[in-house]
Amino acid sequence: MNEEDLFKLIETREDERHDFKEKWYSSNESNSKRAEMLKDIFSFVNTTHNEDCYLIFGVTDDTREIVGIENDENRYNTQQITDWLNSLPIEPEAPRVRVETLSVKGHEVDVMIIKDTDRVPVFLRSGKKGKGFGNHPIGPGQVFTRKEDTNTSISGTADYNQLTELFRKHLGLNLPIEKRFEKVLQDWKNWDYYEHSDGIGIQYSLDPDFRIVFVDRDADAKAEPFSLSQVRVDISWEIAQLKHKSDIIKEISIVNLDGARFKAVAPDIGSISNSYENRLFYYCYKVDSLKFKLEELINNMGSAISPNHGSLKNFMESIVLYNDNEHQSKVEQYLCSIANDVGTSAESDEEMLSIYRSKLETDVPRGSIELSDLAIDQMAKQVNVGKYIKDLMKQNPQLQ
């Protein structure tokens, strides 16, 4: 969080996403402040929206005046809160929190960031009382939540409607249909492969309305740089139709690799350029994308369309993984500043070109454009650029 983000929150009255505290919770074990802190954390985890929440210390809740906590003896850091939460009998898992300190108007303000999760509701498996809980023990199964600017009281629990909404969030029923699809794609063990007379596909066993149908499509490319690492380099193309009931939610390009022994989502194309506008290309995935969620499902569901370990390793050897678009832009901006070094590393020796040429001549139809010297050289460069970027990111933590 930066100062601008903090001021945006301070300018907004307390709601289901943030709350102001003039001071930290007292660490005196004879009072009930630890119970209050746990209740507040649980209340923000058990919200029905899909955003992170914030407890802001050093700001009054009535006037929103910045008073600071630099002299507060009861401050906690991330490790202290994490260790404490992990020591409690929390179901289904301990909340993820992070504490950041910002200097604002001559004061220090602590912000506890409570990460959003669909693993809700959270509660204690067994009751907690005694030191730090004073006269307010928290019972087993007691669910705290937050509505607008008000938390469930420490002696209360969420009502039926609130619990229903939390379970809707857990199941993804509060999400747009594409986000729901993204969620079920990550449940690898509950997808089944099927073959019908009208084609092949995979279906989500817990909700058969979610399914993926693979449809043949024509494409000119008979080989791609990412197929050169396979035993057979020829490829064929399909469209994966992500369906909910009869509706097509998304269509994603699929490539059949190694003589159609396994499927993969066609990766995106990345590029960098030097000062002379000479462009170098490579292939990549963005981990936060729907496409990559499908790629991970194919790789991990252990079906007839999944690669074995060796095939997957070979496939991924020149494909770069980015967290998101912002991550890709950051890395490519750096690569442009060293484009000449990248270009030098992209060159292939004649021995490697000869190996690629032999494999292509064996598997690709005669007369295909992929058999030209120019095409082989360009594919080899794309492989080398991808490998160079992957090695560079491993060696440079700032690019990860």
Closest CA to 363 of 256, 248, 211, 216: 256
Q: What is this structure's pTM? A: 0.80
Taking residues 167-191, report their average pLDDT: 94
**pLDDT score recorded for residue 335:** 95
**pLDDT score recorded for residue 203:** 96
Residue 1: pLDDT band with limits 50, 70, 90: confident
CA gap 144, 128 in Å, rounded: 14
**pLDDT score recorded for residue 128:** 82
| pLDDT at residue 29 is higher than 80 | no
Instruction: Report the range of poorest mean pLDDT among 124-138, 206-220, 276-290, 339-353.
Output: 124-138
CA gap 307, 324 in Å, rounded: 25
pLDDT digits (tens, 9 = 90+) for 366-396: 999 999 999 999 999 999 999 999 999 999 9
| Residues 6 or more apart in contact with residue 352 via CB below 8 angstroms | 380
Residue 350: pLDDT band with limits 50, 70, 90: very high
pLDDT digits (tens, 9 = 90+) for 30-77: 557 888 999 999 999 999 999 999 999 999 988 999 999 999 999 999
Rg (CA), the chain: 27
Q: How many CA atoms lie within 13 A of 88 on its CB side?
A: 29
The number of beta carbons lying within 10 Å of the beta carbon of residue 105 is 11
Residue 127: pLDDT band with limits 50, 70, 90: confident
Residue 135: pLDDT band with limits 50, 70, 90: confident
CA gap 358, 353 in Å, rounded: 9
Long-range contacts of 153-158 (CB under 8 A, 24+ apart): 154/32, 154/35, 154/36, 154/39, 158/46, 158/121
Residue 276: pLDDT band with limits 50, 70, 90: low
Contact of 81 with 100, CB cutoff 8 Å: no
